[in-house]
Amino acid sequence: MTELLKNHVAGQWIAGSGVGTTLTDPVTGEALVRVSSDGLNLPQAFGFARDQAGAALRALTYAQRAARLGQIVKLLQAKRDDYYAIATANSGTTRNDSAVDIDGGIFTLSYYAKLGASLGDVHALREGNAVPLSKDQSFSVQHVLVPTRGIALFINAFNFPSWGLWEKAAPALLSGVPVIVKPATATAWLTQRMVADVVDAGILPAGALSVICGSSAGLLDQIQPFDVVSFTGSADTAATLRAHPAFVRHGARLNVEADSLNSAILCADATPDTPVFDLFIKEVVREMTVKSGQKCTAIRRAFVPEAALEAVLDALNTKLAKISVGNPRNEAVRMGALVSREQYENVLAGIAALREEAVLAFDGSAAPLIDADPAIAACVGPHLFVVNDPDSATLLHDVEVFGPVATVAPYRVAADASGLPEAHAVALARRGQGSLVASIYSNDDAHCGQLALELADSHGRVHAISPSVQQSQTGHGNVMPMSLHGGPGRAGGGEELGGLRALGLYHRRCAVQAPGAAIDTLTQTTHPAMA
């Protein structure tokens, strides 16, 4: 029988009871390890983290906690080869795709280590300047931010077992809040190994970083008013979480990143004979195929001028035909597997649903898999659809297929009150009911700025690309720690990252109304909460 991975709770390694759930290689079907959270003493686990670990973390200054993050970075960098091997075996990713998760997580952690060092040896932050409340200015108000005296529970998705952990844990730990992470079961191995390496190195106070692998049953029942829960997953699951008494009655914080039908807009000036047209084609293909399309920020809908539709489809088909799919251990393979056969079935069901109103323009299932048995491997080739009437379409704007699938749709080039010729495309993008990101492609930098503002109300991030930044732009789907990650409406309404803004989730804002001397003391013992 395969190894049963242990959970780390209350400062101890504890194996769950029972047989557990077996994690498998999504390409070969080989059993890898098992996980189980059955039998854990959850009240003790949460209480230890909240009380002992929380107190120990808060006793450190921001600069001291940042230094601990820096030590974690060095540790993880030294063990990258181990993590790559786990990612290939458990997630079915190519080395380049594994880097998006593993190196992306380490980079984010490194960013917050450096950012946190700038906050200095203080234990609280101040927001803005003091404002007088009295005519003689002897009595003022100063807003301060102090770490919440609770825990941060992360319920993470299967697609980013490394980055999903560290992009949340970095600001939480820097804030002085202990972390309990519940990774998605299918790919929990990498998260568990990284936590184990950090815990065994003794970098953090006991209980500051815990991991529970297996079922999430009972976790929310442990949440108290000053705790924070951050969830990444489906909108349906998020709706269930929101109804829990921890949030409805006790007022605990819940941050959600959910479904997102992200868009890419080819602007009216980006005709097939211009440089930005090629950048658009390249980006759509990249977003369809990186991590086999299993990214919450991937391009799902591509809106193009009616006159450019055929040229776009021809260019995309040409590039997609060069994508080889199969065993990521084979150097000839460009795109690996989905994380499980369960996800494989979900993606096939999504493709079948889109067929009801869309025409399949590229069928990647026609090409044979490389070094993989199609009866076992969770591999799906790229699928590109076209919807000729996006105004009448519904599934295009409602169904997110979490795999290498995207749909192209034409828009009418005509300005509305905004004066932008892409007004129809903006309206179509908004039909996603709130998205994490939209990208725009224009040869005119100034036009990018105007269009970005039109999209800002319904998107957490707008990524504008022109030929002037073709070498420096970071990519539609890459989440940078300096930028906000999250989105309104259907995307969950949550906010993560964005520099020091991320610390706000783990702090409590308080208005201190006091005499001038008291305000002076606050100023001397806090650091500005810079964005």
CATH number of domain containing 328: 3.40.309.10
The number of folded domains in the chain is: 2
pLDDT value of residue 419: 87
**501 and 441, same structural domain?**
no
The span from the CA of 343 to the CA of 402, in Å, is 8
Q: Is 69 domain-assigned? A: yes
Same structural domain, 443 and 316: yes
Q: For residues 254 and 267, state if they share a domain.
A: no
Residues that are catalytic: 257, 296
Region of 276 please: left (phi>0), alpha (psi -120 to 50) or beta: alpha
- Residues 235 and 335 placed together within one structural domain of the fold: no
Strands, DSSP E only, in 329-373?
359-363
- Residue 52 placed within a domain: yes
Same domain, yes or no, for 381 and 457?
A: yes
Question: Same domain, yes or no, for 300 and 380?
Answer: yes
For residue 130, is it within any domain? yes
On whether both 156 and 70 belong to a single domain, the answer is yes
Residue 257: DSSP 8-state: E
HSE-up of 520 (CA within 13 Å, CB side)? Answer: 4
Same domain, 38 and 170: yes
Residue 129 token pair: 């300047």
Domain that holds residue 229: 4-258+495-528
Task: Write down the pLDDT at residue 418.
Answer: 80
- What pLDDT sits at residue 417? 81
For residues 504 and 473, state if they share a domain: no
Give yes or no: residues 361 and 382 share one domain.
yes
Q: Name the amino acid, one letter, at 369.
A: L
Residue 490 located in a structural domain: no
Beta bridge partners of 440: 265, 464
Cβ atoms 151, 180 nearer than 8 A:
yes
Instruction: For the chain of 531 residues, list the mean pLDDT of each consecutive stretch of 10.
Output: 95 95 97 97 98 98 98 98 98 97 98 96 95 94 97 97 98 98 98 98 98 96 98 93 96 95 97 96 98 97 98 98 97 97 97 97 95 97 98 97 98 89 97 98 96 97 96 96 97 96 97 95 89 50
Q: What are the respective helix, strand and coil percentages of the chain, to the nearest 5?
A: 40, 20, 35
Please tell me the pTM assigned to this model.
0.96
Same domain, 287 and 196: no
Confidence (pLDDT) at 214: 94
Domain assignment of residue 321, yes or no: yes
Q: Give the residues across from 12 on adjacent strands.
A: 9
- The domain that holds 124 is classified in CATH as 3.40.605.10
Q: Does any domain span residue 77?
A: yes
Q: How far is CA 108 from the centre of its chain?
A: 12
Report yes or no on 95 lying in a domain: yes
Q: Please give the Cα distance from 293 to 366 (Å, whole number).
A: 18
Q: Are residues 297 and 153 in the same domain?
A: no
Q: Is residue 98 part of a domain?
A: yes
Distance in angstroms (rounded) separating the CA atoms of residues 267 and 422: 6
